[in-house]
Amino acid sequence: MATTSRKRPARSAKNAEELLGYYRQMLLVRRFEERTAQAYTEAKIGGYCHLNLGEEATVVGLMAAIEERDYLFTNYRDHGYALIRGMDPGRVMAELYGRQDGVSKGWGGSMHLFDTDVRQLGGYGIVGGQLPLAAGAALAVSYRDGDEVVMCQMGDGTTNIGAFHETLNIATLWDLPIVFVVVNNHLGMGTTVEMASAEPELYKRASSYRMESARVDGNDVIAVRDAAKVAVERARKEQKPYLLETVSGRLRGHSVVDPAAYRSKDEIAAVRAQDPVAGLHDRLVADGVAKAEDLAGVDADVHRIVKAAVEFADKSPAPEVSSLFDHTYASPVPNDSRRLPADPLFPVGA
Amino acid sequence: MAVMSYRQALHDTLRAEMLRDPDVFLMGEEIGRFEGSYKITAGLLDEFGPKRVRDTPIAEEGFTGAAVGAAMLGLRPVVEIMTINFSLLALDQIVNHAAKIYGMFGGQRSVPMVIRTPGGGGQQLAATHSQNVELFYAFTPGLKVVAPSSPADAKALLLASIRDNDPVLFLENLALYNTKGEVPDGDEPAEIGRAAVTREGTDITLVAYSRMAHVALQVAEKLASEEGISAEVVDLRSLRPLDRPTIIESVKKTSCAVVLEDDWLTYGIGAEVAASISDGAFDYLDAPVRRVAMAEVPLPYAKSLELAALPSANDVVTVVHQTLDAVGRRSVGAH
């Protein structure tokens, strides 16, 4: 186990290009989430809606560490992962809008982003629910002697639920190629890690399962990427699970509707001072990688992408009511009930 | 056609499906080295090895969920949960995940898996080990729930369940494992979602599933031979989907029905069957639909109390008599 935090200056042209690419991705998450919050207040988006604001470096760093062939499972705070993993921003926004062109045709919404084409297999709203599933996906990879890795993201609060412990145990016992990522933003809704976890250094929990683990600064995109690469390579080459804890902050409430009144001004100021997007911006300028006006241009590009996504979502029709029974069963079956609330069980007068 | 036990039919079918399809594999507690708590998987570890007969830790939520995840990638896991009581520990993975994944993600990935698990009281196992909670699963769209009562159906429904692309809860019963019956050769699967009329009759319809479908047949034979009452038996076989048309068709013929169930009466599967009959055959009914169900208590250990709480063949006969008496039809069958 190791605690790593690296702030390397971008020296080479390759590094500069890479950093700029990450900045663009982080900004896409930032602007998309800000626009999502706005759309929610406009009642374009319903249900629960959790944003990745403050977790941009973590999201982008993690996604840089896995390959196309790999699988990703996440919790409900999943918009950023979807965007960077390669889902079309318009189709992601359309899913948030509950429209026909959404990645899941409007069946899942914000918490359940899923696109089999990019191997992001959900988006799960039940805390801890994705862990056994991800282990099962890794079991399938192993069963077929594949070389894919499964990355399973979760929040800090998840480390207290039974499924976490059952799954970590199984992952080691069965030599599963899986990387568990605990995104520690210090808060499970309003409950702090210290209030909820007897071992608040969450990465240490892996030791009970003889699993390698590390903690990394989740506000440093390169540090996250490099730490995740170590974990992914170990899973791929040695068929060993790994637990990576990333530590960052949540810039807003638990969900869009949460004003986070339980947080002190000092606490909020501290999180803002570590804003990963602003931090990378300043670092790029200070290191001479880019000028402020170049970065403003990146921002303008990203704004255009987000604007187009919103327009796409807005134009997409609501799903037809006639499709209501399309996805109950994959294998058709007789006598599956297809009635609407006021329909009789049997034709009247029959 | 061979005569074999329900247990043997399950074992042979699992083995045949593993030979047929390399994506079929088994997971569960004590299924390998111990050969299964009820020995359904006896010999399979030796034959197929630990990759395909995977002993799991006692972690129902973990291993059931892992089966769901493996199924999402196209494998066909068959999970054994030692008894249905323990499935409650995996409720989140079964109800919130297995049942939802196909629909909630717009049909992008299906979950072709089977959960085999026995229910049933009557073994003096006391309250937490004697429940029939299949209702929880039958309540849930996205799951399919089947409940074979005979060795032939055990085979045909297990074939159907393994080959189905949806999560299927396959309900077995402790009291049925040693029952014997004729089992057809070949590998013709049953159709999930279809009930069967396992005995034709004209005076009254008995609706049941799993162990109670077995009891219903015994009662029907007794009523016929001793009293000349002609009872028709509808074996539901599938609890979700529920084959309402077959039930209604029978009740239209007999004009009265009794539902037999091993679970608790209030909100139970019998309630759903009775409500369906009310919807679909109201004008044909001569008598209220009665239910024979378990007493609404945590099932006791003491044999005298356990026997009193569980529905028996005698209980069914009593309720059939009361139902026919209520409409003055007992003489119909009494020649």
Q: Any CB–CB contact under 8 A between B140 and chain A? A: no
Q: Give the ipTM.
A: 0.96
Token pair listed for A299: 């921002």
The CATH number given to whatever domain includes residue B212 is 3.40.50.920
Phi-psi region of A293 (alpha: psi -120 to 50; beta: other; left: phi over 0): alpha
The CATH number given to whatever domain includes residue A62 is 3.40.50.970
- Cβ atoms of A255 and A182 closer than 8 Å: no
How many structural domains comprise chain B? 2
Give the predicted TM-score (pTM) of the model.
0.96
The β-bridge partners of A214 are: A2, A244
Look up tokens 């085999």; give the residue.
B116
Look up tokens 């004729």; give the residue.
B182
Asked if B150 and B243 sit in the same domain, the reply is: no
Residue A198 resides in a domain: no
Name the residue among B99, B100, B81 with its Cα closest to residue B90: B81
Task: Report which secondary-structure segment, H or E, holds B162.
Answer: helix B151-163
Q: Which residues of chain A neighbour B109 with C-beta distances below 8 Å?
A: 114, 116, 121
pLDDT tens sequence for chain A (350 residues): 445 444 555 567 788 999 999 999 999 999 999 999 999 999 999 999 999 999 999 999 999 999 999 999 999 999 999 999 999 999 999 999 999 999 999 999 999 999 999 999 999 999 999 999 999 999 999 999 999 999 999 999 999 999 999 999 999 999 999 999 999 999 999 999 999 999 999 999 999 999 999 999 999 999 999 999 999 999 999 999 999 999 999 999 999 999 999 999 999 999 999 999 999 999 999 999 999 999 999 999 999 999 999 999 999 999 999 999 999 999 999 999 899 999 998 876 54
- Cβ atoms of A114 and A104 closer than 8 Å: yes
The CATH number given to whatever domain includes residue B118 is 3.40.50.970
Name the residue among B104, B182, B18 with its Cα closest to residue A114: B104
Indicate the residue among B158, B183, B208 that finishes a domain. B183
Asked if B13 and B87 sit in the same domain, the reply is: yes
- The residues of B that are catalytic are 60, 129
Asked if B16 and B93 sit in the same domain, the reply is: yes
Residue A37 resides in a domain: yes
Q: Provide the domain limits for residue B256.
A: 196-333
Is B41 in a helix, a strand, or coil? Answer: coil
CA dist B3 and B308 (Å) reads: 33
> Smallest CA–CA separation between A173 and chain B, in Å?
9
Phi-psi region of A87 (alpha: psi -120 to 50; beta: other; left: phi over 0): beta
The β-bridge partners of B238 are: B146
Indicate the residue among B157, B183, B209 that finishes a domain. B183
Asked if B248 and B177 sit in the same domain, the reply is: no
Residue A80 resides in a domain: yes
Asked if B129 and B154 sit in the same domain, the reply is: yes
Asked if B215 and B163 sit in the same domain, the reply is: no
Asked if B265 and B156 sit in the same domain, the reply is: no
Residues 55-114, chain B: which have Cβ within 8 Å of A?
56-57, 59, 61-75, 77, 92-93, 96-97, 101-112
How many structural domains comprise chain A? 1
CB nearest to A132's CB, from B61, B164, B243: B61
Residue B191 resides in a domain: no
Residue A1 resides in a domain: no
